[in-house]
A and B are shown apart, each in its own frame.
Chain A
Protein backbone atom coordinates (compact mmCIF):
# COMPACT_ATOMS: atom_id res chain seq x y z
CA UNK A 1 0.00 0.00 0.00
CA UNK A 2 2.69 2.39 1.03
CA UNK A 3 4.45 1.74 -2.22
CA UNK A 4 1.35 2.56 -4.21
CA UNK A 5 0.87 5.77 -2.35
CA UNK A 6 4.40 6.81 -3.04
CA UNK A 7 3.99 6.07 -6.68
CA UNK A 8 0.82 8.12 -6.84
CA UNK A 9 2.43 11.07 -5.19
CA UNK A 10 5.44 11.05 -7.44
CA UNK A 11 3.19 10.74 -10.49
CA UNK A 12 1.12 13.69 -9.36
CA UNK A 13 4.21 15.72 -8.87
CA UNK A 14 5.48 14.91 -12.29
CA UNK A 15 2.12 15.89 -13.78
CA UNK A 16 2.07 19.15 -11.96
CA UNK A 17 5.47 20.02 -13.15
CA UNK A 18 4.56 19.34 -16.74
CA UNK A 19 1.21 21.07 -17.19
CA UNK A 20 -1.54 21.24 -14.62
CA UNK A 21 -4.81 21.05 -16.54
CA UNK A 22 -7.58 21.17 -13.94
CA UNK A 23 -7.94 24.44 -12.02
CA UNK A 24 -7.76 22.60 -8.68
CA UNK A 25 -4.51 20.97 -9.66
CA UNK A 26 -3.27 24.34 -10.84
CA UNK A 27 -3.96 25.86 -7.47
CA UNK A 28 -2.24 23.00 -5.73
CA UNK A 29 0.73 23.43 -8.00
CA UNK A 30 0.83 27.13 -7.22
CA UNK A 31 0.76 26.37 -3.53
CA UNK A 32 3.53 23.86 -3.90
CA UNK A 33 5.61 26.23 -5.90
CA UNK A 34 5.01 28.98 -3.36
CA UNK A 35 5.83 26.86 -0.34
CA UNK A 36 9.58 26.52 -0.86
CA UNK A 37 9.82 30.20 -1.71
CA UNK A 38 8.14 31.07 1.59
CA UNK A 39 10.66 28.96 3.42
CA UNK A 40 13.62 30.81 2.06
CA UNK A 41 12.64 34.44 1.90
CA UNK A 42 15.74 35.73 3.62
CA UNK A 43 17.99 35.29 0.60
CA UNK A 44 17.12 38.34 -1.50
CA UNK A 45 16.44 40.60 1.50
CA UNK A 46 20.00 40.68 2.80
CA UNK A 47 22.14 43.39 1.31
CA UNK A 48 25.47 41.61 1.05
CA UNK A 49 27.52 44.79 1.25
CA UNK A 50 26.23 45.59 4.71
CA UNK A 51 27.64 42.40 6.22
CA UNK A 52 30.65 43.38 8.34
CA UNK A 53 32.92 40.76 6.83
CA UNK A 54 32.12 41.74 3.24
CA UNK A 55 32.44 45.41 4.15
CA UNK A 56 35.87 44.94 5.63
CA UNK A 57 37.24 42.84 2.78
CA UNK A 58 35.81 45.15 0.13
CA UNK A 59 37.25 48.15 1.94
CA UNK A 60 40.80 46.87 2.03
CA UNK A 61 41.04 44.34 -0.79
CA UNK A 62 38.10 45.43 -2.94
CA UNK A 63 40.12 45.08 -6.14
CA UNK A 64 40.53 41.34 -5.47
CA UNK A 65 36.84 40.56 -5.21
CA UNK A 66 35.08 39.71 -8.47
CA UNK A 67 31.74 38.77 -7.00
CA UNK A 68 30.07 38.16 -3.66
CA UNK A 69 27.33 35.59 -3.21
CA UNK A 70 25.08 34.99 -0.26
CA UNK A 71 23.06 31.81 0.15
CA UNK A 72 21.65 30.23 3.32
CA UNK A 73 23.69 32.54 5.49
CA UNK A 74 26.99 31.70 3.83
CA UNK A 75 29.22 34.26 2.20
CA UNK A 76 31.11 33.34 -0.95
CA UNK A 77 33.83 35.45 -2.55
CA UNK A 78 34.71 34.77 -6.15
CA UNK A 79 38.25 35.86 -6.98
CA UNK A 80 40.82 35.64 -9.76
CA UNK A 81 43.36 32.88 -9.37
CA UNK A 82 46.31 35.28 -9.24
CA UNK A 83 45.28 36.90 -5.97
CA UNK A 84 44.37 33.85 -3.92
CA UNK A 85 47.54 33.70 -1.79
CA UNK A 86 47.56 37.46 -1.15
CA UNK A 87 43.91 37.39 -0.19
CA UNK A 88 44.41 34.41 2.13
CA UNK A 89 47.35 36.12 3.83
CA UNK A 90 45.19 39.17 4.36
CA UNK A 91 42.22 37.17 5.66
CA UNK A 92 44.45 35.32 8.08
CA UNK A 93 46.36 38.30 9.44
CA UNK A 94 43.75 41.06 9.47
CA UNK A 95 42.47 41.83 12.95
CA UNK A 96 38.84 41.91 11.83
CA UNK A 97 38.79 38.70 9.83
CA UNK A 98 41.36 36.42 11.54
CA UNK A 99 40.71 33.31 9.51
CA UNK A 100 43.23 31.11 11.24
CA UNK A 101 41.81 27.78 10.13
CA UNK A 102 41.55 26.30 6.66
CA UNK A 103 38.64 23.90 6.87
CA UNK A 104 39.07 22.31 3.47
CA UNK A 105 39.93 22.75 -0.17
CA UNK A 106 37.50 21.35 -2.71
CA UNK A 107 37.58 20.91 -6.43
CA UNK A 108 34.46 20.81 -8.59
CA UNK A 109 34.11 20.07 -12.28
CA UNK A 110 31.57 21.88 -14.45
CA UNK A 111 32.28 20.56 -17.95
CA UNK A 112 29.79 22.86 -19.66
CA UNK A 113 31.39 26.04 -18.38
CA UNK A 114 34.03 28.06 -20.18
CA UNK A 115 36.28 27.69 -17.15
CA UNK A 116 35.39 24.13 -16.15
CA UNK A 117 37.15 23.83 -12.81
CA UNK A 118 36.41 25.47 -9.55
CA UNK A 119 38.60 25.39 -6.45
CA UNK A 120 36.73 26.21 -3.27
CA UNK A 121 38.36 27.19 0.01
CA UNK A 122 36.44 27.08 3.27
CA UNK A 123 37.87 29.23 6.03
CA UNK A 124 36.98 29.50 9.67
CA UNK A 125 38.07 31.86 12.41
CA UNK A 126 38.37 30.34 15.87
CA UNK A 127 38.40 33.76 17.53
CA UNK A 128 35.74 35.58 15.50
CA UNK A 129 33.65 32.42 14.94
CA UNK A 130 32.76 33.14 11.35
CA UNK A 131 33.14 31.29 8.09
CA UNK A 132 33.71 32.26 4.51
CA UNK A 133 34.02 30.50 1.19
CA UNK A 134 36.42 31.57 -1.54
CA UNK A 135 36.13 30.39 -5.09
CA UNK A 136 38.62 30.38 -7.91
CA UNK A 137 37.65 29.38 -11.42
CA UNK A 138 40.16 27.71 -13.68
CA UNK A 139 40.35 26.77 -17.33
CA UNK A 140 41.38 23.26 -18.39
CA UNK A 141 45.16 23.50 -18.08
CA UNK A 142 45.43 26.36 -15.64
CA UNK A 143 47.25 26.11 -12.34
CA UNK A 144 46.47 27.91 -9.13
CA UNK A 145 48.98 28.96 -6.52
CA UNK A 146 49.12 26.72 -3.45
CA UNK A 147 47.97 28.28 -0.19
CA UNK A 148 50.49 26.13 1.66
CA UNK A 149 52.50 29.19 2.85
CA UNK A 150 49.39 30.43 4.67
CA UNK A 151 48.06 27.21 6.18
CA UNK A 152 50.24 24.12 6.19
CA UNK A 153 47.22 21.83 6.23
CA UNK A 154 46.67 22.82 2.59
CA UNK A 155 49.29 20.25 1.54
CA UNK A 156 46.98 17.30 1.97
CA UNK A 157 43.79 19.06 0.90
CA UNK A 158 45.41 20.19 -2.34
CA UNK A 159 46.87 16.77 -2.95
CA UNK A 160 43.37 15.37 -2.71
CA UNK A 161 42.01 17.91 -5.18
CA UNK A 162 44.85 17.05 -7.55
CA UNK A 163 44.21 13.33 -7.08
CA UNK A 164 40.48 13.55 -7.68
CA UNK A 165 40.27 16.26 -10.34
CA UNK A 166 43.74 16.73 -11.75
CA UNK A 167 43.93 20.40 -10.82
CA UNK A 168 47.57 21.36 -10.35
CA UNK A 169 48.78 23.69 -7.61
CA UNK A 170 51.86 25.77 -8.31
CA UNK A 171 54.62 25.80 -5.68
CA UNK A 172 53.08 22.92 -3.78
CA UNK A 173 55.87 21.15 -1.83
CA UNK A 174 54.85 17.61 -2.75
CA UNK A 175 52.04 17.38 -5.25
CA UNK A 176 51.22 13.73 -5.80
CA UNK A 177 48.28 11.37 -5.44
CA UNK A 178 47.00 10.78 -1.95
CA UNK A 179 44.01 8.41 -1.92
CA UNK A 180 44.52 6.54 -5.17
CA UNK A 181 47.61 4.48 -6.06
CA UNK A 182 50.45 6.36 -7.75
CA UNK A 183 49.96 4.56 -11.07
CA UNK A 184 46.24 5.29 -11.30
CA UNK A 185 45.08 6.77 -14.59
CA UNK A 186 42.59 9.57 -14.74
CA UNK A 187 40.92 11.69 -12.10
CA UNK A 188 37.68 10.12 -10.85
CA UNK A 189 35.74 13.16 -9.71
CA UNK A 190 35.76 14.66 -13.17
CA UNK A 191 32.31 14.41 -14.65
CA UNK A 192 33.61 12.68 -17.79
CA UNK A 193 35.42 9.91 -15.89
CA UNK A 194 34.42 6.50 -17.28
CA UNK A 195 32.69 4.90 -14.31
CA UNK A 196 32.68 1.35 -15.65
CA UNK A 197 36.27 1.38 -16.80
CA UNK A 198 37.63 2.45 -20.17
CA UNK A 199 35.36 1.86 -23.20
CA UNK A 200 35.07 -1.83 -23.96
CA UNK A 201 36.60 -2.90 -20.63
CA UNK A 202 33.35 -4.06 -19.06
CA UNK A 203 32.29 -6.12 -22.06
CA UNK A 204 35.72 -7.75 -22.24
CA UNK A 205 35.61 -8.56 -18.55
CA UNK A 206 32.18 -10.16 -18.81
CA UNK A 207 33.30 -12.19 -21.80
CA UNK A 208 36.34 -13.44 -19.96
CA UNK A 209 34.72 -14.16 -16.61
CA UNK A 210 31.05 -14.89 -17.22
CA UNK A 211 31.23 -16.91 -20.43
CA UNK A 212 29.92 -20.10 -18.84
CA UNK A 213 26.79 -18.50 -17.39
CA UNK A 214 25.98 -17.01 -20.77
CA UNK A 215 23.47 -14.75 -19.06
CA UNK A 216 25.09 -11.35 -19.05
Chain B
Protein backbone atom coordinates (compact mmCIF):
# COMPACT_ATOMS: atom_id res chain seq x y z
CA UNK B 1 0.00 0.00 0.00
CA UNK B 2 2.84 2.33 0.81
CA UNK B 3 6.36 2.93 -0.37
CA UNK B 4 8.99 2.03 2.16
CA UNK B 5 11.61 4.63 2.76
CA UNK B 6 9.60 7.79 2.89
CA UNK B 7 7.77 6.87 6.06
CA UNK B 8 10.50 4.63 7.43
CA UNK B 9 11.30 6.66 10.49
CA UNK B 10 12.03 4.31 13.29
CA UNK B 11 14.33 1.84 11.52
CA UNK B 12 17.40 0.47 13.25
CA UNK B 13 19.79 1.55 10.49
CA UNK B 14 18.37 5.03 10.60
CA UNK B 15 18.95 5.25 14.33
CA UNK B 16 22.54 3.96 14.04
CA UNK B 17 23.41 6.49 11.34
CA UNK B 18 21.83 9.22 13.37
CA UNK B 19 23.87 8.30 16.44
CA UNK B 20 27.05 8.14 14.38
CA UNK B 21 26.34 11.53 12.87
CA UNK B 22 25.82 13.07 16.25
CA UNK B 23 29.00 11.59 17.73
CA UNK B 24 31.42 12.12 14.87
CA UNK B 25 30.18 15.08 12.89
CA UNK B 26 29.03 17.17 15.84
CA UNK B 27 25.73 18.14 14.32
CA UNK B 28 23.50 20.50 16.20
CA UNK B 29 19.87 21.48 16.15
CA UNK B 30 18.73 24.01 13.68
CA UNK B 31 15.87 26.36 14.41
CA UNK B 32 13.53 26.93 11.56
CA UNK B 33 10.85 29.57 11.64
CA UNK B 34 7.64 28.69 9.84
CA UNK B 35 5.05 31.39 9.53
CA UNK B 36 3.31 33.57 10.62
CA UNK B 37 2.76 34.28 6.93
CA UNK B 38 2.97 30.85 5.42
CA UNK B 39 0.38 29.55 2.97
CA UNK B 40 -0.06 26.24 4.76
CA UNK B 41 -0.70 27.68 8.20
CA UNK B 42 -4.17 28.83 7.13
CA UNK B 43 -3.88 32.23 8.69
CA UNK B 44 -1.29 33.72 10.95
CA UNK B 45 0.19 30.86 12.88
CA UNK B 46 3.88 30.71 13.65
CA UNK B 47 5.78 27.53 14.35
CA UNK B 48 9.35 27.41 15.55
CA UNK B 49 10.75 24.03 14.62
CA UNK B 50 13.89 22.58 16.18
CA UNK B 51 15.37 20.33 13.53
CA UNK B 52 17.95 17.63 13.44
CA UNK B 53 18.57 17.32 9.75
CA UNK B 54 15.08 17.39 8.42
CA UNK B 55 13.61 15.63 11.43
CA UNK B 56 11.64 17.61 13.98
CA UNK B 57 12.75 17.25 17.57
CA UNK B 58 10.75 20.04 19.12
CA UNK B 59 8.13 22.56 18.17
CA UNK B 60 6.99 25.77 19.70
CA UNK B 61 3.74 27.31 18.58
CA UNK B 62 3.33 31.06 18.68
CA UNK B 63 -0.22 32.35 18.42
CA UNK B 64 -2.01 35.59 19.12
CA UNK B 65 -1.49 37.43 15.83
CA UNK B 66 -5.25 37.69 15.35
CA UNK B 67 -6.15 38.42 18.94
CA UNK B 68 -9.04 40.87 19.07
CA UNK B 69 -9.92 40.64 22.73
CA UNK B 70 -13.39 39.20 22.13
CA UNK B 71 -13.85 38.14 25.74
CA UNK B 72 -13.15 41.65 26.95
CA UNK B 73 -15.37 43.14 24.25
CA UNK B 74 -18.20 40.91 25.41
CA UNK B 75 -18.14 42.53 28.82
CA UNK B 76 -19.03 45.85 27.24
CA UNK B 77 -21.81 44.53 24.97
CA UNK B 78 -25.34 43.46 25.72
CA UNK B 79 -26.21 39.83 25.06
CA UNK B 80 -27.76 40.37 21.61
CA UNK B 81 -25.00 42.79 20.65
CA UNK B 82 -22.33 40.17 21.13
CA UNK B 83 -23.93 37.73 18.70
CA UNK B 84 -22.30 39.14 15.52
CA UNK B 85 -18.91 38.89 17.18
CA UNK B 86 -19.30 35.14 17.42
CA UNK B 87 -19.45 34.99 13.62
CA UNK B 88 -15.87 36.17 13.59
CA UNK B 89 -14.58 33.35 15.73
CA UNK B 90 -14.46 30.53 13.24
CA UNK B 91 -15.35 32.69 10.28
CA UNK B 92 -15.97 29.81 7.90
CA UNK B 93 -18.60 28.20 10.11
CA UNK B 94 -20.41 31.12 11.64
CA UNK B 95 -23.76 29.35 12.12
CA UNK B 96 -22.11 26.86 14.43
CA UNK B 97 -20.50 29.66 16.42
CA UNK B 98 -23.85 31.47 16.74
CA UNK B 99 -25.41 28.20 17.84
CA UNK B 100 -23.04 27.76 20.77
CA UNK B 101 -23.58 31.29 21.97
CA UNK B 102 -27.36 31.38 21.76
CA UNK B 103 -27.61 28.00 23.49
CA UNK B 104 -25.56 29.31 26.39
CA UNK B 105 -27.70 32.43 26.78
CA UNK B 106 -30.91 30.42 26.45
CA UNK B 107 -29.71 27.97 29.07
CA UNK B 108 -28.94 30.88 31.37
CA UNK B 109 -32.37 32.42 30.86
CA UNK B 110 -34.36 29.19 30.63
CA UNK B 111 -35.86 29.97 27.22
CA UNK B 112 -37.70 27.27 25.29
CA UNK B 113 -37.07 27.56 21.56
CA UNK B 114 -39.94 26.69 19.16
CA UNK B 115 -39.70 23.40 17.27
CA UNK B 116 -39.46 24.94 13.83
CA UNK B 117 -36.60 27.18 14.86
CA UNK B 118 -34.83 24.18 16.36
CA UNK B 119 -34.94 22.31 13.08
CA UNK B 120 -33.84 25.35 11.09
CA UNK B 121 -30.91 25.74 13.44
CA UNK B 122 -29.87 22.12 13.20
CA UNK B 123 -30.13 22.23 9.42
CA UNK B 124 -28.04 25.40 9.19
CA UNK B 125 -25.44 24.03 11.60
CA UNK B 126 -25.11 20.88 9.52
CA UNK B 127 -24.85 22.79 6.25
CA UNK B 128 -22.12 24.79 7.95
CA UNK B 129 -20.37 21.60 8.93
CA UNK B 130 -20.38 20.46 5.32
CA UNK B 131 -19.06 23.77 4.05
CA UNK B 132 -16.39 23.91 6.75
CA UNK B 133 -15.25 20.38 5.98
CA UNK B 134 -15.24 21.21 2.27
CA UNK B 135 -12.88 24.11 2.88
CA UNK B 136 -10.78 21.87 5.05
CA UNK B 137 -10.58 19.17 2.40
CA UNK B 138 -9.86 21.71 -0.30
CA UNK B 139 -7.00 23.44 1.50
CA UNK B 140 -5.61 20.32 3.10
CA UNK B 141 -5.44 18.58 -0.27
CA UNK B 142 -3.96 21.68 -1.86
CA UNK B 143 -1.24 21.83 0.79
CA UNK B 144 -0.33 18.25 0.08
CA UNK B 145 -0.40 18.85 -3.64
CA UNK B 146 -3.81 17.88 -4.99
CA UNK B 147 -5.09 20.88 -6.88
CA UNK B 148 -8.24 19.43 -8.43
CA UNK B 149 -9.87 18.64 -5.11
CA UNK B 150 -9.63 22.28 -4.21
CA UNK B 151 -11.68 23.34 -7.22
CA UNK B 152 -14.26 20.59 -6.75
CA UNK B 153 -14.80 21.43 -3.08
CA UNK B 154 -15.16 25.14 -3.64
CA UNK B 155 -17.74 24.48 -6.31
CA UNK B 156 -19.99 22.64 -3.85
CA UNK B 157 -19.29 25.07 -1.06
CA UNK B 158 -20.61 27.81 -3.31
CA UNK B 159 -23.99 26.05 -3.37
CA UNK B 160 -24.13 26.08 0.42
CA UNK B 161 -23.13 29.72 0.58
CA UNK B 162 -25.90 30.52 -1.88
CA UNK B 163 -28.34 28.86 0.51
CA UNK B 164 -27.02 30.94 3.39
CA UNK B 165 -27.34 34.06 1.30
CA UNK B 166 -30.93 33.14 0.53
CA UNK B 167 -31.80 32.65 4.18
CA UNK B 168 -30.07 35.63 5.72
CA UNK B 169 -28.42 37.78 3.07
CA UNK B 170 -24.88 37.01 4.13
CA UNK B 171 -22.51 34.35 2.97
CA UNK B 172 -19.94 34.20 5.73
CA UNK B 173 -20.76 36.33 8.75
CA UNK B 174 -24.36 35.25 8.87
CA UNK B 175 -25.67 36.16 12.36
CA UNK B 176 -28.85 34.30 11.48
CA UNK B 177 -29.52 32.87 14.93
CA UNK B 178 -31.13 34.89 17.66
CA UNK B 179 -31.50 34.36 21.36
CA UNK B 180 -34.79 32.44 21.38
CA UNK B 181 -34.89 31.32 17.75
CA UNK B 182 -33.72 32.49 14.37
CA UNK B 183 -33.92 35.94 12.78
CA UNK B 184 -36.73 35.08 10.37
CA UNK B 185 -38.31 32.14 8.65
CA UNK B 186 -36.80 30.47 5.59
CA UNK B 187 -37.60 32.23 2.31
CA UNK B 188 -39.70 30.68 -0.45
CA UNK B 189 -37.76 28.27 -2.58
CA UNK B 190 -35.16 27.57 0.07
CA UNK B 191 -36.33 24.05 0.77
CA UNK B 192 -36.34 23.11 -2.91
CA UNK B 193 -32.85 24.47 -3.43
CA UNK B 194 -31.56 22.76 -0.31
CA UNK B 195 -33.11 19.51 -1.50
CA UNK B 196 -31.31 19.90 -4.78
CA UNK B 197 -28.06 20.20 -2.86
CA UNK B 198 -28.79 17.12 -0.73
CA UNK B 199 -29.55 15.20 -3.88
CA UNK B 200 -26.32 15.93 -5.67
CA UNK B 201 -23.94 16.11 -2.71
CA UNK B 202 -23.47 12.33 -2.17
CA UNK B 203 -22.42 12.04 -5.82
CA UNK B 204 -19.96 14.88 -5.40
CA UNK B 205 -18.57 13.28 -2.25
CA UNK B 206 -18.02 10.17 -4.34
CA UNK B 207 -16.01 12.34 -6.73
CA UNK B 208 -13.70 13.43 -3.93
CA UNK B 209 -13.21 9.81 -2.99
CA UNK B 210 -12.41 8.91 -6.57
CA UNK B 211 -9.78 11.62 -6.66
CA UNK B 212 -7.82 10.94 -3.50
CA UNK B 213 -9.20 8.11 -1.36
CA UNK B 214 -6.78 5.57 -2.85
CA UNK B 215 -4.38 7.97 -4.47
CA UNK B 216 -0.85 6.74 -3.90
CA UNK B 217 0.69 10.13 -3.19
CA UNK B 218 -2.15 10.99 -0.83
CA UNK B 219 -1.70 7.73 1.06
CA UNK B 220 2.04 8.11 1.41
CA UNK B 221 1.63 11.63 2.74
CA UNK B 222 -1.11 10.79 5.24
CA UNK B 223 -1.04 7.16 6.39
CA UNK B 224 0.89 6.67 9.64
CA UNK B 225 1.71 10.37 9.82
CA UNK B 226 1.18 12.13 13.14
CA UNK B 227 -0.23 9.19 15.06
CA UNK B 228 -1.85 10.02 18.35
CA UNK B 229 -3.72 7.57 20.55
CA UNK B 230 -7.18 8.35 21.86
CA UNK B 231 -6.00 8.52 25.44
CA UNK B 232 -3.14 10.86 24.65
CA UNK B 233 -5.42 12.96 22.48
CA UNK B 234 -7.88 13.41 25.34
CA UNK B 235 -5.05 14.26 27.67
CA UNK B 236 -3.91 16.94 25.23
CA UNK B 237 -7.35 18.43 24.70
CA UNK B 238 -8.23 17.11 21.25
CA UNK B 239 -11.89 17.20 20.35
CA UNK B 240 -14.15 16.80 17.36
CA UNK B 241 -13.16 14.90 14.23
CA UNK B 242 -9.55 14.78 15.43
CA UNK B 243 -10.32 12.68 18.48
CA UNK B 244 -12.84 10.58 16.56
CA UNK B 245 -10.02 9.78 14.15
CA UNK B 246 -8.29 8.18 17.13
CA UNK B 247 -11.13 5.81 17.88
CA UNK B 248 -12.92 7.75 20.63
CA UNK B 249 -16.71 7.63 20.35
CA UNK B 250 -17.42 11.14 21.47
CA UNK B 251 -19.76 13.47 19.69
CA UNK B 252 -21.61 16.06 21.75
CA UNK B 253 -24.56 15.84 19.36
CA UNK B 254 -25.06 12.22 20.49
CA UNK B 255 -23.73 12.23 24.04
CA UNK B 256 -25.42 15.37 25.32
CA UNK B 257 -27.96 16.01 22.58
CA UNK B 258 -28.83 19.67 22.33
CA UNK B 259 -31.59 21.15 20.18
CA UNK B 260 -33.20 18.35 18.14
CA UNK B 261 -30.27 16.06 17.42
CA UNK B 262 -31.79 13.22 19.44
CA UNK B 263 -34.84 13.15 17.17
CA UNK B 264 -32.80 12.64 14.02
CA UNK B 265 -31.25 9.51 12.63
CA UNK B 266 -27.51 9.64 12.02
CA UNK B 267 -24.28 8.00 13.09
CA UNK B 268 -21.05 9.14 14.69
CA UNK B 269 -18.12 8.94 12.31
CA UNK B 270 -15.24 7.15 14.03
CA UNK B 271 -12.00 5.75 12.63
CA UNK B 272 -9.28 3.86 14.44
CA UNK B 273 -6.25 4.78 12.36
CA UNK B 274 -5.16 7.63 14.70
CA UNK B 275 -3.28 9.28 11.81
CA UNK B 276 -3.85 12.06 9.29
CA UNK B 277 -5.62 9.65 6.97
CA UNK B 278 -8.07 8.59 9.69
CA UNK B 279 -8.99 12.21 10.36
CA UNK B 280 -9.59 12.63 6.66
CA UNK B 281 -11.91 9.61 6.59
CA UNK B 282 -13.81 10.87 9.64
CA UNK B 283 -14.52 14.23 8.04
CA UNK B 284 -15.62 12.69 4.78
CA UNK B 285 -18.04 10.43 6.62
CA UNK B 286 -19.25 13.35 8.69
CA UNK B 287 -20.10 15.31 5.58
CA UNK B 288 -22.28 12.46 4.36
CA UNK B 289 -23.95 12.12 7.76
CA UNK B 290 -24.57 15.86 7.87
CA UNK B 291 -26.18 15.64 4.45
CA UNK B 292 -28.49 12.95 5.86
CA UNK B 293 -29.41 15.20 8.77
CA UNK B 294 -30.12 18.12 6.45
CA UNK B 295 -32.51 16.10 4.30
CA UNK B 296 -34.34 14.82 7.39
CA UNK B 297 -34.68 18.38 8.64
CA UNK B 298 -36.03 19.44 5.25
CA UNK B 299 -38.66 16.66 5.37
CA UNK B 300 -39.80 17.85 8.77
CA UNK B 301 -39.66 21.56 7.97
CA UNK B 302 -41.90 21.04 4.95
CA UNK B 303 -44.75 19.87 7.18
CA UNK B 304 -43.95 21.70 10.40
CA UNK B 305 -45.39 25.17 10.75
CA UNK B 306 -45.08 27.53 13.63
CA UNK B 307 -43.16 30.44 15.02
CA UNK B 308 -39.41 30.68 14.64
CA UNK B 309 -38.89 32.89 17.64
CA UNK B 310 -39.72 32.34 21.29
CA UNK B 311 -41.18 35.06 23.47
CA UNK B 312 -38.07 36.83 24.59
CA UNK B 313 -38.06 40.08 26.59
CA UNK B 314 -36.82 43.10 24.66
CA UNK B 315 -34.12 43.72 27.21
CA UNK B 316 -32.31 40.50 27.88
CA UNK B 317 -31.47 40.37 31.54
CA UNK B 318 -30.55 36.86 32.63
CA UNK B 319 -30.71 35.94 36.31
CA UNK B 320 -27.54 35.83 38.35
CA UNK B 321 -25.59 32.67 37.78
CA UNK B 322 -23.23 30.94 35.49
CA UNK B 323 -23.63 28.37 32.76
CA UNK B 324 -21.50 26.44 30.34
CA UNK B 325 -23.05 25.26 27.10
CA UNK B 326 -21.22 23.45 24.37
CA UNK B 327 -21.93 22.36 20.83
CA UNK B 328 -20.17 20.12 18.39
CA UNK B 329 -18.74 22.72 16.05
CA UNK B 330 -17.07 21.50 12.83
CA UNK B 331 -13.69 21.72 14.57
CA UNK B 332 -14.63 20.19 17.90
CA UNK B 333 -16.19 21.19 21.17
CA UNK B 334 -17.16 24.83 21.18
CA UNK B 335 -18.21 26.04 24.59
CA UNK B 336 -19.42 29.31 26.02
CA UNK B 337 -19.07 29.94 29.73
CA UNK B 338 -21.11 32.93 30.81
CA UNK B 339 -21.15 34.53 34.23
CA UNK B 340 -24.13 36.80 34.70
CA UNK B 341 -24.54 39.34 37.47
CA UNK B 342 -28.12 40.09 36.56
CA UNK B 343 -27.30 43.04 34.31
CA UNK B 344 -27.92 43.17 30.52
CA UNK B 345 -24.21 42.61 29.86
CA UNK B 346 -22.26 39.45 30.63
CA UNK B 347 -19.97 39.83 33.63
CA UNK B 348 -17.53 37.37 32.14
CA UNK B 349 -17.69 35.40 28.94
CA UNK B 350 -15.19 32.69 28.10
CA UNK B 351 -15.03 30.99 24.76
CA UNK B 352 -13.74 27.46 24.68
CA UNK B 353 -12.46 27.42 21.13
CA UNK B 354 -11.84 23.97 19.64
CA UNK B 355 -9.00 25.04 17.35
CA UNK B 356 -7.10 26.54 20.26
CA UNK B 357 -7.26 23.28 22.17
CA UNK B 358 -6.52 21.19 19.10
CA UNK B 359 -3.27 23.06 18.53
CA UNK B 360 -1.90 21.91 21.89
CA UNK B 361 -1.20 18.45 20.56
CA UNK B 362 0.66 19.56 17.41
CA UNK B 363 4.16 19.40 18.98
CA UNK B 364 3.45 15.85 20.14
CA UNK B 365 2.11 14.85 16.75
CA UNK B 366 4.95 16.18 14.64
CA UNK B 367 7.83 15.01 16.82
CA UNK B 368 10.10 12.74 14.78
CA UNK B 369 8.48 13.63 11.48
CA UNK B 370 9.82 15.57 8.51
CA UNK B 371 9.24 19.27 7.93
CA UNK B 372 6.90 18.47 5.05
CA UNK B 373 4.71 16.47 7.42
CA UNK B 374 4.06 19.53 9.57
CA UNK B 375 1.96 20.87 6.74
CA UNK B 376 -0.06 17.67 6.59
CA UNK B 377 -0.55 17.76 10.38
CA UNK B 378 -1.69 21.37 10.55
CA UNK B 379 -4.04 20.66 7.69
CA UNK B 380 -5.39 17.55 9.35
CA UNK B 381 -6.30 19.17 12.65
CA UNK B 382 -8.12 21.94 10.78
CA UNK B 383 -7.23 25.17 12.54
CA UNK B 384 -8.93 28.49 11.98
CA UNK B 385 -6.91 31.24 13.52
CA UNK B 386 -9.85 33.52 14.17
CA UNK B 387 -10.96 30.99 16.71
CA UNK B 388 -7.55 30.23 18.14
CA UNK B 389 -6.74 33.85 18.95
CA UNK B 390 -10.30 35.12 19.56
Residues of A within 8 A of B (CB): 6, 9-10, 13, 36, 39-40, 71-72, 74, 76, 100-104, 106, 108-109, 120, 122, 126, 129, 131, 133, 151-153, 155-157, 164, 177-181, 188-189, 193, 195
Q: Give bound CA distance, A126 to B233, whole Å.
A: 12
Shortest CB distance B200–A (Å): 36
Residues of B within 8 A of A108 (CB): 339, 347-348
Give B353-366 as 1s and 0s: 1 = Cβ < 8 Å from A's Cβ atoms: 00011011000000
Q: Which residues of B contact A152 (CB under 8 A)?
A: 235-236, 360
Are A13 and B108 in touch, CB under 8 angstroms?
A: no
Contacts of B63 in A (CB 8 A): 178-179
Contact indicator A103/B352 (Cβ below 8 Å): yes
B262 CB to nearest chain A CB (Å): 13
How many contacts A-B (CB < 8 Å)? 99
**CB-nearest residue of chain B relative to A177?**
B64
B67 to A180, Cβ gap below 8 A? yes
Whether B352 lies near A104 (C-beta < 8 A) is yes
Provide the B250-265 mask, 1 if CB < 8 A to any CB of A, else 0. 1000011000000000
For A122, give its contact among B67, B337, B389 (CB under 8 Å): B337
**Chain B residues with CB under 8 A of A71:** 321-323
Looking at the assembled complex, report how far the CB atom of B52 sits from the nearest CB atom of chain A, in whole angstroms.
Answer: 21
Chain B residues engaging chain A, CB cutoff 8 angstroms: 63-64, 67, 69, 71-72, 76, 107-111, 231, 234-237, 248, 250, 255-256, 313-315, 319, 321-324, 326, 333, 335, 337, 339, 347-348, 350, 352, 356-357, 359-360, 389-390
**Contact residues of A: prevailing secondary structure:** mixed
Q: Are A100 and B234 in contact (CB under 8 A)?
A: yes
Contact between chains at A155 and B324 (CB < 8 Å): no
Known interface pairs A131-B324, A155-B360, A156-B360. Does A40 touch B337 (Cβ–Cβ under 8 Å)? no
8 A-B pairs within 8 Å (CB atoms) are namely A100-B234, A103-B333, A108-B348, A122-B324, A122-B335, A126-B248, A151-B235, A153-B360
Residues of A within 8 A of B108 (CB): 72
A126 to B67, CA, bound (A): 31
